[in-house]
Structure 1
Amino acid sequence: MKNYFIFLSCLILFLSCDTKNNESIKNTTKTPQKQGFTLQGELQNGEASIIYLNKIIGNSLYQVDSCKIENNKFAFQGIVEFPERFALTFDSYNFKTILILENTSFNITINLENVNDPIITNSPLNNQLLVYKNTAKEIFRKIDYLYPRFQKARLENDVQKLEEIGTEMKSIEKEFQTFSFQFIEANKNSFIAPIILSDQLKNSTIDTLNIQKSYQLLSNEVKHSPDAQLIALFLKLH
């Protein structure tokens, strides 16, 4: 039961994603491209000297670029073959900030006291992800009401109450899954769709049928993205 609370709470943080190990950043800061990305950033409520741009592969981070932070400002330039989630890390802190890297000029403000909720502007995909995350958080706030009841029932070894709470937890997970699939269908021509769909592979119960239906809705261009390829591999193996 405790694992349910950990699982559902971690989902909305989006601090990791599974992608194939492919060369997704080309011509970074040293050789900027006109059709690539420019990321301008600012830190708040903290100091760091170096910031690192990391590709996420499975549960590991692989550094692909870095730059010095001057007056709490930094910048990255380069080009990505497909939009993907990347992680920003720092030399002075043991945490990471997740964002979608897409070929556009956009900005990010990171409050080092709340790195999980950066302010990202001028990025259509990050804006779409924010809409998704905000609704997901509303769903998962129901956990706040369940957890005290769960603790009390566990201390009292109340099996019946624990079973009832377990049923409610599964209902929350189901509500989240339904919302996710509806969001993917509404954004089937966007690269945000396979990014969110790939997260469905982390659920305690994987809905293979709906994952397959959602994958078939994606446009041919979107299906070439790393997240979509990960889903295709999963479906091939199942």
Structure 2
Amino acid sequence: MKHFFLLGIFCIIIYSCKKNVSQIDLPNISKASTLNGFEIKGTLENFYPEKVYLNKIIEDSFYKIDSAQIQNNNFSFIGIVEFPERFAITFENYSSITLFIIENTQFEIIINSETINDPIIIGSSLNNKLFEYKVEAKTIFKKIDYLFPKFQKARLENDVDKLAEISEEMKKIEKEFTNFSNNYILQNKESYIAAMILRDQIKSTTIDTLQIKKTYDILSSEIKKSPDAKIIASFLNLH
């Protein structure tokens, strides 16, 4: 049923990319001192790879741009980014992926094997802000939990009336989530998080181009310079 596309959006929020490709040169992250760049101090819990990789995310692909050896379950990355963006950490001999935002500050990331998709991040205001958004979004998506078994049962029984009823309920959840996201962007139009959330909307199976343009227009001029906002602008130019 098409209204279960909400699950797809939430997967984008939590785990937006999956493909790993060969290394290439990427200009928008470089080595720098911690005076004007970032320093990530990482800790691994309950799993023991020998090396971790920092990956730039482009479309649905990961590009390895740096690596670090693990010493006493700790690792670090130092560099500089032009704008805050989401990056991915991958692990040698493990298929798991941790997504997070890199901004030019010193912060810690604690990655537990049981909650790899939800690392603990200390000292990064943008990661904290994204976490708050995800917590609120989860309260909406929890409403899907009780509908999915009903949907499966109705589909097996070919209960057309019940499927229509569930479809209407899903539309309400869909609208609630869309309104929540758009209101969040409106209230945070000067935050890079707003551009990231809006970029995720253009990856969904159902896209309201007019609403995306309307929401994009309210972003501050500084946020529109970010890579996420530029991707949105390119999308709008094509539609």
TM-score (norm 1): 0.91
> Residues of 1 paired with 2:211 and 2:27: CA distance?
30
> Residues of 1 paired with 2:10 and 2:155: CA distance?
19
Return the letter of the residue paired with 2:59. Answer: G
Instruction: State the 1:4 CA deviation.
Output: 1.8
Return the letter of the residue paired with 2:83. Answer: F
> Residues of 2 paired with 1:177 and 1:14: CA distance?
19
Task: Give the 5 Å matches for 1:128-207.
Answer: 128-207=129-208
> Residues of 1 paired with 2:44 and 2:141: CA distance?
28
Return the letter of the residue paired with 1:100. Answer: I
Q: 1:4 is matched with which residue?
A: 4
Is the contact made by 2:9 and 2:203 (CA closer than 8 Å) also made in structure 1? no
> Residues of 1 paired with 2:234 and 2:121: CA distance?
31
Task: Give the 5 Å matches for 1:67-146.
Answer: 67-146=68-147
Instruction: State the 1:24 CA deviation.
Output: 1.8
> Residues of 2 paired with 1:121 and 1:40: CA distance?
10
> Residues of 1 paired with 2:26 and 2:50: CA distance?
29
Q: 1:26 is matched with which residue?
A: 30
Return the letter of the residue paired with 1:228. Answer: A
Q: 1:58 is matched with which residue?
A: 59
Instruction: State the 1:25 CA deviation.
Output: 0.6
Unaligned runs of 5+ in 1: none
218 and 3 in structure 1: CA distance in 2 versus 1, 3 angstrom threshold: closer
> Residues of 2 paired with 1:16 and 1:178: CA distance?
25
% identity of equivalent residues? 55
Structure 2 residue matching 1:96: 3-state secondary structure? strand
Unaligned runs of 5+ in 2: 19-24
> Residues of 1 paired with 2:184 and 2:230: CA distance?
19
Structure 2 residue matching 1:63: 3-state secondary structure? strand
Q: Bigger CA drift: 8-17 or 170-179?
A: 8-17
> Residues of 1 paired with 2:140 and 2:15: CA distance?
15
Superposed CA RMSD in Å reads 1.9
Q: 2:21 is matched with which residue?
A: none
Is the contact made by 1:40 and 1:74 (CA closer than 8 Å) also made in structure 2? yes
Q: Bigger CA drift: 212-221 or 111-120?
A: 212-221
Structure 2 residue matching 1:86: 3-state secondary structure? strand
> Residues of 2 paired with 1:122 and 1:130: CA distance?
13
Structure 2 residue matching 1:167: 3-state secondary structure? helix
Instruction: State the 1:226 CA deviation.
Output: 0.5
Q: 2:45 is matched with which residue?
A: 44
**Displacement over 4 Å in runs of 4+:** none
Deviation per residue, 1:157-210 (Å, 9 max, x gap):
112211221222222122111111111111111111111110110222212222
Instruction: State the 1:96 CA deviation.
Output: 0.2
The aligned length equals: 232
Is the contact made by 1:12 and 1:136 (CA closer than 8 Å) also made in structure 2? no
TM-score (norm 2): 0.91
Instruction: State the 1:125 CA deviation.
Output: 0.6
